[in-house]
Structure 1
Amino acid sequence: MTAGLKFVHEHGGIITLGITPSHPETGYGYIQFNPDESIDEPDGPEKIYKVKTFAEKPNLEVAKSFLASGDFLWNSGMFIFRADTMMDEMKVSLADVYESLMKLVPVLRSKDFDKTLEMVYSQIKSISIDYGVMEKSSSVYTIKSDFGWNDVGSWDEIYNISEKDSEGNVKKGRTVTINSKNNLIINDQKIAALIGVEDLLVIDTDNGIAVKSLEQSVPVFEKIFGVTASPMEHVADQKVNVRKLHLTNCDLELLEGTAPDSPISKFIEKKGEGIHHCSFGVNDIIDKLYHLDNAGINLIDKTPKTGADDMLIAFLHPKSTAGILMELSQKKN
């Protein structure tokens, strides 16, 4: 941090702190630096490297290649820069945002500042600094950093950093585990009981969960929640078998693919068993889809189709919902 502050004070430019990767992580963005273009800090061991490019979250094979190359760092999203440097960058890369911000200069320290700020901010387009400035600038540098950073952007990371019992379980809330290992349980309301299971994620919420075998999985969840699952239903359009557990405030839906090209079968092949989607009940699904489409939300289904329990369903694309597959559902009547 000290080296970065000293560099931008003396030379300008933008420093982004890159984390030395410890494993091929697919949940983080990456920074590629140029090992042949570095600046040695005379007062410390740190080297400051010129950034070549930024990479989005990769798949596992690409992440492994990043790690093997030795010139990629995890993108921590932490930056060091002078205010005048960032304003100069925005003047070039985000001219409309720059012009809006400059409207604040005449009213600084005046009684009109708060009102002007609210007006200006409401008109500025939403864009991250990564896309708006960092990926366009030719004056971005990085410092290799290693200070126990974790993005905590996935359930895997929450499990990794949480305190575990002697069997590797992370238990938050009213939880009982018997002959169960390496599970993550977050439960604030009801008692969650896990019996003879491993590598489960149990969160007290309304989720659809993808499983390889309903025959093996349903008894486990029945023991956990103390309820009997509904009879199996086959949804031909989705190529899935479905059984539901009707809980106090939500339904838990267990989904089993019936063909290799089923969305559930593909999901399990790629990611393994786990939470597949979150479902939200609506009163008028057609109206809701119309308004979401007009609001720029990417829809998988622009018109509803029939799902389990003869419900009308439609999915929103994860690209528009922070990587979470979301379903809207409505009773036909």
Structure 2
Amino acid sequence: MKPSLLIRGQWGLGDNIFARPIIRACVAKYDVWLETPWPELFEDLPLRFVAAKRNLRTQMRNVARQSPARWSAPPHGIREIRLGYGHAELARGSIVAALERQVAAVGVRLSAPVWDLPALPASPIAAERPIALVRPVTVRGEWRNEARNPRPEYVAEIAQQLMQTHHVVVAADLAAGHEWLEGELPPHHQAHLKGEFAVRELLGLVAAADVVVGGVGWIVPASIALGSAAFVILGGHGGHNAPNVITDPRMDLSRIAFATPREFCQCTSLLHRCDKTIQDLPAQWSAFCRRRGLPFSTLAPNAA
């Protein structure tokens, strides 16, 4: 019989995708109870889920979507670990490396990790043209991090170019006082801005998309796990959000491109006024399109 282990997981959607190979490795050694607001991301693994409460709007809404039968109570006195990372952990390396160190404390080590997701439903959107999923630049009141956001006009420029060749879908979960746009809404054919898609539908949309565009966030691990092409436009806050921090050398990054500012700020301050200028955005976008075989027209040079 395996020993029991309670894992208090992270709450970010992207963080949970990052953690899948970590959780899978733990399941191989332990009888696992996992505290997570995103049980859909682990429902193919033999474990049990633990409900929790935090003052996080999107996560608690997903918890409320679950059947009560989804949740279990862990045994009293069960061994427990908590997954997470902060400045001290990221100063030593990547997000994945931080999680690996934490499970190493209970004798778990990764061997040939695979970043993937359970089977997903078909895309909730069908279109005659290929789908381009665009994440607008937003600010969340719960965790304000304007520093990492790209300049909104860059996302809009790419979306405008894609309007010529793709069916552009903008997706977000806006709510007054909780999460709001930074800048203007990018050009689009469809906009779903009220969290209309449940998480499996949203990820099904990522899987079906010909290209995903936006700033650093859950679209990065989701695109990696699903093998989707993604053009990720960096802003600042590079000490916590540089590509070498948010990815792992064992990931397949062949379909991911990071549009990088001229002077990529390496700060770790959430509200730092980083210089986010990408003078050669047209060249970086064109190179990505050529590499991925995407149709494109030349972007106008953007202002410095």
Do these two structures clear the TM 0.5 threshold for a shared fold by scoring above it? no
Larger Rg: 1
TM-score tier (shorter)? under 0.3
TM-score when normalising by structure 2? 0.25
TM-score when normalising by structure 1? 0.23
Q: Which has the higher contact order (CA 8 A, sep 6+)?
A: 2
More strand by share: 1
